[in-house]
Amino acid sequence: MSDHVYKKVEVVGSATDSLEHAIENAVERAGKTLRNMRWFEVDEIRGHIADGKVDHWQVGVKIGFTLDDHN
């Protein structure tokens, strides 16, 4: 097994229906520009309130990925 070097980026996902969907939105969108994604960490949860109810969720997500080897 070779050694790896990892990098993390931070994104914010949002959704109107659930925290899980907000996380999935963040990971899926990041996957359009990042390769080799390996894990995520949720480090922030917040939401928007409208008319006394939760209107949408926002989740801060750190995504870890391996860096490409360039030989």
The pTM assigned to this predicted structure is 0.85
Distance separating alpha carbons of residues 32 and 18, to the nearest angstrom: 22
Q: Does residue 40 carry a pLDDT above 80? A: yes
47-65 residue pLDDT tens: 999 999 999 999 999 999 9
Rounded CA separation 59/48 (Å): 11
DSSP reduced 3-state for 17: coil
User: How high does pLDDT run on average in the chain?
Assistant: 93
Helix (H, G, I), strand (E, B) or coil at 11: strand
For the chain, give me the number of helices (H) and strands (E)?
A: 1, 3
Q: Residue 1: its pLDDT value, please?
A: 46
